[in-house]
Amino acid sequence: MMLILIAIAAFAATLLGGWLALRFKDKLHLILGFSAGAVIGVAFFDLIPEAVDLGQQFYSTSAIAAFIATGFLTYLVLDRWVLLHHHDSDEHGHTAPRRGILGGSTLAVHSFLDGVAIGVGFQVSSAVGLIVAVAVLTHDFSDGINTVNVLLKHSKDSRMAFKWLMVDAVAPVAGITSTLFFALPEHLLGVILAVFAGFFLYIGASDLIPESHHAHPKFLTTLMTLLGAGVLFLVIRLAGL
């Protein structure tokens, strides 16, 4: 029963964040600034510490750092090479939507892993499961904002953004459900979290931050980026108490 309630809450939190992003898309540069800070904050304050905690009994610190770097560099390769020469293709409107889909997919997979983390936590104990759930719910809201922002930035299509928002909202529910059928090894979860921390660092630093500052007042967008990181830091710290 507890897992069902948490799954519903994760779905609702993601939708709420995405709805706000769609509702106030005329202020997209400010939301992008906040999202950049939130994405980087999730990587630094949540994903990396969790990867270290889960992986330190299996891997050295340098190995975990290498997994993070692998995620960062893999996303860079996907962004620059696999998606074709985007500066040329964007003139014809082909590559930008594909970049948005890549970003949306990454966020959805991360949300799925959030759900897996909740389920695995409850397999350990109810107390651990609840702590993980609180941490996940607090940034599912940001995940909804980030999913919509990434899609709107590249595709300019609200319907596509809403479709991927729904995927992202369902993803943690699917993650929680999946743990009823298998147990994910801790060493594998640590590696996956480290890789996705690298993904998020790339998305925030190389995509959202430059876009949020483009042709807009830098002081306010910088303030929003710092606010996004600060809010995630406080929420994650409080969730860990």
- Kindly report, residue by residue over 91-142, the tens digit of the pLDDT: 445 555 666 667 677 778 878 877 887 888 788 677 667 777 876 776 577 6
The closest of 184, 176, 66 to 118, measured between CA atoms, is 176
pLDDT band at 73 (very low <50, low <70, confident <90, very high): very high
How far is CA 32 from its chain centroid? 13
What pLDDT sits at residue 87?
Answer: 45
Report pLDDT for 84.
47
Over residues 209-227, mean pLDDT: 77
- What is the model's pLDDT at position 86? 45
Question: 169 lies in which domain range?
Answer: 2-239
Q: Residue 234: what pLDDT? A: 86
Query: 3-state DSSP helix/strand/coil percent for the chain, to nearest 5?
Result: 90, 0, 10
Paired tokens of 213: 């500052």
Would you give the end-to-end CA distance of the chain in angstroms?
24
Distance CA 176, CA 217 (A): 41
Number of structural domains the chain divides into: 1
Which H or E run contains 12? helix 2-23
Per-residue pLDDT reduced to its tens digit, 144-164: 777 777 777 666 667 777 888
